[in-house]
Structure 1
Amino acid sequence: MALSMRVLVPGLVLAVLNGCTAKKPDPLEELEKRVIAQDTKLQRLDELEERVLQQDIKLQRQEQEIQDQKETILKLDSELQQLKTKEHTPVVSQISSQVTQMNAEIQTLKTVNQQQDEKFGTPYVRWGHGACPHTSDIVYS
């Protein structure tokens, strides 16, 4: 009978003896890779946060501009309402009626003037054969 001898060798020596040269991952390297990955994610998050803050500031400016425009519109609207109420005062209504009456009279005079022009014809100057004004005649058409 042959005696077999067993030797207990730690894992690494046993792996070398068996011809296995695979390296065990170093826990420090793994931690370093994870830290770098987390740092990269953190940098991306910081960039995103900065963009969000810039957009928030821009949005606040736009909201302020819109609010200012609304206030201006409300102010102008109240002034317009005041002007409308002032328009209905007796003095303003009297003046507006006088202006309306004057406009009607002007239109009547224009119509009468047109009728007279149509009745008598339109005058124009007809020049004679010479270039002198004494050979011209006023003609009605």
Structure 2
Amino acid sequence: MKNSQESISLPTFEVTLVQDGTEQTCDLAALVKDSQQGLVLYFYPKDNTAGCSVQATDFTELKEQFANKGYQIIGVSRDGIKSHHNFINKKALNIALISDTDETLCQHFDVIKEKMMYGKTHLGVVRSTFVFDKNGVMIASFRNIKAKEHAQTLLDFL
């Protein structure tokens, strides 16, 4: 895991958050102010895929430990709201997910890159995590990370 000190701000535009069987529209910059210490915002390629499921369930299992450190965890993908509800139910996730179907958030954080799969290139989300303090200032960014054990490594970092 590589810690980069690039400077990306928390956006002030509204996003759709899916959690506990409901959806709500919120502003991430305002949401982080409600946290004790800050926000962990992680981007993943697709709901219900092997690596993304491992990462989401790891964050779910460690959610209380992140909360004890004062951090809220939110996952982001380009999947729709219905897909997020299915993912949450199927994997028993207790973390919030953002539906970024228009890729506004993905573009803001520059996580859509050319990727190679089965010998063909396509544009996809590069697994990345950004950590913000209570004031919305980014304190760490991790790009092109591996799903397995990332949540624990990040918890240790915090």
Mark yes or no: TM-score above 0.5. Answer: no
Structure with bigger gyration radius: 1
Q: Per residue, is there more strand in 1 or in 2?
A: 2
Higher relative contact order (CA 8 A, sep 6+): 2
Which has a greater percent of helix?
1
